[in-house]
Amino acid sequence: MYLVTVLRNLLIILAISTDSHLHTPMYFFLFSLSLVDICFISTTVPKMIVDILSNNRVISYEGCLTQMSVFLIFASMDDMLLIVMAYDRFVAICNPLHYTIIVNPHRCVLLLLMSVFLSLVESQIHNSVVLQITCFKDVKIANFFCDPSQLLSLSCSGPLMKMIVTYIVGIIFGFFPITGLFFSYYKIVSSILKIPSSGGRCKAFSTCSSHLSALCLFYGSGIGTYLGSDVSYSPIKGMVDSLMYTVVTPMLNPFIYSLRNRDISSTLKRLYSCRVKS
């Protein structure tokens, strides 16, 4: 699964890099998302593979903090880029005549840099809180990586502090982005329904279908893990949920975007045919 994820995302990066027709804002963000997905899955799976092969599941205190910090950066980047891509689709469908002016190359780079900055801030906030309220030296973590939600459960201040931190982070980096996404897609659907021809409506909706599928996959698995009830929690359920959004989601993203996107599919086929001929 790790190799499939890395190779498939590399193919998308290669396709976008080599085809000048794909040098547009939408594919610029998809290029960034593929790169982030590779980094995201690489924060957890290689260490897990080494643990399985060596039969040694120990990680140092510093290593655990580092893994959690890097994991949060790329998880937040995934979140931010999906929001930016929703904004891109919103402008493309609701204001198509001014699309090239609003979503210009300068603004694309600015949005990417803002995503990186907010991801770093989110990671540092989480790290600061974990360092202040937890005591997790020489403890067992019921997961295959240093899951931030489980590290918060090791709070020296009791479960109340974990709940406060979880819901504050959830509201800032979950509720507000999801509200923005709902607003964007409300406007998108309203604009699509105003298109007189059914062919035009289908074409407009098809430009959003891949992004919408990726959104449902990412937020569905993430919300289920971090905002699930502690009453129904079990170590096995926690590991399965973690596996869904740390391994399965990055693996399925490139399939969603390549199989449901004619431009990416045709570019990949053209690259393959050129390779076979050579």
Average pLDDT over residues 74-87: 89
Half-sphere exposure of residue 80: CA atoms within 13 angstroms, side-chain side: 23
Most confident by average pLDDT, 117-121, 125-129, 200-204: 117-121
Q: Binning pLDDT at 50, 70 and 90, where does residue 276 land?
A: low
Cβ-based neighbours of 178, under 8 Å, separated by 6 or more: 219
Q: Is the pLDDT of residue 116 over 90?
A: yes
Q: What is the pTM for the complete model shown?
A: 0.84
Query: CA angle at residue 86 from 81 to 92, to 5 degrees?
Result: 125
CATH for 42: 1.20.1070.10
**Which backbone phi and psi does 153 adopt, to 5 degrees?**
-70, -15
Collapsing DSSP to helix, strand or coil, 230 comes out as coil
For residue 120, the enclosing domain spans 2-277
For the chain, counts of helices (H) and of strands (E): 13, 0
Residue 195: which of 94, 87, 85 has the closest Cα?
A: 94
Amino acid at the residue 232: S
Pairwise CA distance, residues 237 & 227, whole Å: 13
For residue 214, the model assigns a pLDDT of: 78
Q: Is the pLDDT of residue 68 over 50?
A: yes
227-236: list long-range contacts, CB under 8 Å, 24+ apart: 227/166, 227/170, 227/174, 230/159, 235/142, 235/143
Residue 209: which of 85, 34, 81 has the closest Cα?
A: 85
166-171: list long-range contacts, CB under 8 Å, 24+ apart: 166/226, 166/227, 169/122, 169/125, 169/126, 170/226, 170/227
> In which residue are the tokens 């790290």 written?
127
Q: What is the pLDDT of residues 92-112, one digit of tens each?
A: 888 888 888 999 999 999 999
Q: Is the pLDDT of residue 146 over 80?
A: yes
Q: Is the pLDDT of residue 50 over 70?
A: yes
Pairwise CA distance, residues 132 & 199, whole Å: 57
Pairwise CA distance, residues 211 & 260, whole Å: 10
For residue 162, the model assigns a pLDDT of: 64
For the chain, give the number of residues: 278
Q: Binning pLDDT at 50, 70 and 90, where does residue 229 land?
A: very low
Q: Is the pLDDT of residue 73 over 70?
A: yes
* Range with lowest mean pLDDT among 15-24, 73-82, 192-201: 192-201
Pairwise CA distance, residues 258 & 69, whole Å: 30
Pairwise CA distance, residues 122 & 119, whole Å: 5
Q: Binning pLDDT at 50, 70 and 90, where does residue 266 land?
A: confident
Average pLDDT over residues 199-211: 73
For residue 137, the model assigns a pLDDT of: 66
For residue 232, the model assigns a pLDDT of: 54
Q: Which element (helix H / strand E) includes 151?
A: helix 148-152
The domain tally of the chain equals 1
